[in-house]
Chains A and B, each alone.
Chain A
Amino acid sequence: MMDDKMKKLLGEDMPEVPDSFRAAMASAFDQMEERSRPKRNVPFWSLRGMRRAAVILAAVLILSTVAVAAIMAPRLVAIFWGDEVPTAEGIDQYLAHDLAQTQVGQYRVRVDEAIYDGVALYVQYSLRDMEATERLGQYNEKWDEWYLPETEDGQSPLASWPVGYWRDGFWIDGKDISMPGLSSDRMVLTETPGEVVYYAMYRLDQEDIWLSGKVKVSLPIGLKPNWTREETRAQYDEDGGMRLPEANVLTFELDCDVPRKIIKDGQATNMPDGTQVWVSSAVFTPVKLYLTLNYTADEEGLARIIEETGIPEEFAGPYLVMNDWAYGGLRLTDGSGKLVNVQYDIYDGCEGLGDEDILLVMPYAAEYPNPLYIAPLGDNGEPDMTRAVLIPQ
């Protein structure tokens, strides 16, 4: 089926947002405000309340400790992992500045900063209309933020600019790299007239690319090409990769010799349900600990889950046996279950759960205990060491 047809039919199958859905959202909003108000006549020191208070107190203590110990991460890294992300001391020395620049008519395109953490490549670049006299976007007083409203035809105002990031990929040392999975970016409208800044994180490990030494990075930012069909075809090589164009890109050199330790194939753990799990790759970087776990599902355990959930067998997969583990509030611990460093749920934890492997990102620590484990939180809020997996170091 053609994509356009699929889209059309799906649009017709999908009902418009019903009033009941809107009412449910409104009801939730009302309840939020209700819950935000201080309550009276509610016994705070109930057993459950005490447990919760203890957990909060512990979290505050851990956070305070880390806040003192943490090194302020560069903005380019913090924008993806939070302002308080702990990073290695001296990480700034790997951050390169003012890397490349071009001007197309009134538009300036610049690669402002870049850093490679041993796994991911982070780049900050900016576009600026040099003739603009005011900052981009509109200010919303209620929200206290600047945003870029869409044009009447639903486009970004930047779509009409002749410059921009014009394809879903980039080049390293001239080799075409498709946009790796788990990559992400952020856009910020600055106070500078006509300027928009982009922060991008490319997960090169997802394409099995591991950089070292000095490399040349070419980004498809600059004048958006207006190639004919023949010119476009000629731009691709026999393997389907796009050749690095002579124009329309910005290239810069980056020193990628950051301290990185890659350890393969840790000891396997047998979970209580019979699933066997092991760390197949642990990459210790100055920013994060990136883990890949592999597992072998126990067939009986999987069959039990399929029966309990009612998922048709043809659609079920081994991933079901690790779902609760992967999203169970994972923590780094030492051998006794004592937490290592702080972890923010939104930034760290499971980034991908497949039928054979699990991709995790965990916090950096200047020194990890030995042995080091990763464990989900149990019902009591403590790491469940019966389901802990040893991380090789």
Chain B
Amino acid sequence: MDAATFQREAAAQERLLWHIAYAILRKEEDCADAIQTALLRAWQNRGSLREMGAFRSWLCRILTNTCKEMLKKRNREFTEELTGEIPFALPDQVERIALADALSRLSPEMRLCVTCHYLDGWKIPEIAEALGIPEGTVKTRLMHARHRLGEWLREES
């Protein structure tokens, strides 16, 4: 695979790659570091990709692992408190802020499954394949995530 092909294929997945990085890291600057590292790793190991049809899953898995490594390095609690006062918020804004808070309280793995499934429209087998986890694990994470999000949002309201 030449550099132009690699870049074109990777650029075509820009939005998805952003979703994955943000779902795990939740920090814009960390996401930028992660994607840069992941792309260079992928490029260095491009010899292991023999079938272009698997490019998306392959790159997503490298990015996921890179993000997880960064989390390890950060070694901090995933639960983040919303800082600052919210002086006034319309009802739908309240719901949005509550969701952002609730998402932050999910594990990175759950956030990733939820984002890929609901936002990017991936099917469960696709997520399982890309993340290297059994389909049952994806289902369990989605189920727990929905349950927790529902609970937290009910508490907020």
Contact = CB atoms under 8 A, between A and B. Distances in A.
Interface of A: 1, 3, 6-7, 9-15, 17-18, 20-25, 27-29, 31-33, 35-36, 79-80, 82-84, 142-143, 168, 179-184, 186, 206, 308-312, 315, 319, 326-327, 344-347, 350-355, 357, 359
Contacts of B48: 344-346
Given A13-B96, A32-B40, A353-B137, 15 more contacts: A1-B146, A7-B119, A20-B28, A21-B28, A25-B11, A25-B14, A29-B7, A168-B123, A181-B135, A182-B129, A310-B71, A345-B48, A346-B51, A346-B58, A353-B133
Max chain A Cβ within 10 angstroms of own Cβ: one of B29, B45, B51, B146: B51
B20 to A, nearest CB: 11
Q: Is the interface of A mostly helix, strand, loop or mixed?
A: mixed
A6 B75 contact: no
B112 interface: no
B58 A312 contact: no
B136 A10 contact: no
Given A21-B21, A22-B14, A24-B33, A13 B50 contact: no
Nearest to B51: A82
Nearest to A358: B134
A79 B53 CA distance: 9
- Chain B, interface size category, equals 35 or more
B72 A309 contact: yes
Contacts of B5: 143
Given A310-B76, A353-B133, A24 B32 contact: yes
Q: Is the interface of B mostly helix, strand, loop or mixed?
A: helix
A17 B18 CA distance: 6
18 contacts: A1-B149, A6-B118, A7-B119, A10-B115, A18-B18, A21-B31, A24-B36, A25-B10, A25-B39, A29-B10, A36-B3, A83-B50, A181-B128, A184-B129, A310-B75, A315-B110, A352-B135, A353-B132
Given A82-B50, A206-B135, A312 B78 contact: yes
Nearest to B141: A315
A20 B77 CA distance: 25
Contact of B136 (A32, A181, A310, A311): A181
Contacts of A327: 65, 132
B100 interface: yes
A267 B135 CA distance: 27
Contact of B99 (A9, A20, A311): A9
A29 B128 contact: no
B6 A12 contact: no
B22 A24 contact: no
A233 B74 CA distance: 51
A345 B134 CA distance: 18
B54 interface: yes
A270 to B, nearest CB: 24
Contacts of A33: 3
B67 interface: no
Nearest to B10: A25
Contact of A21 (B35, B50, B77, B149): B35
A27 B75 CA distance: 27
B105 to A, nearest CB: 9
A10 B53 contact: no
B22 A15 contact: yes
A347 B58 CA distance: 10
A21 B134 contact: no
Given A1-B146, A82-B50, A20 B134 contact: no
A312 B76 CA distance: 10
Contacts of B135: 181-182, 206, 352
B86 interface: no
Max chain A Cβ within 10 angstroms of own Cβ: one of B6, B14, B53, B58: B53
B119 A11 contact: yes
A28 B40 contact: yes
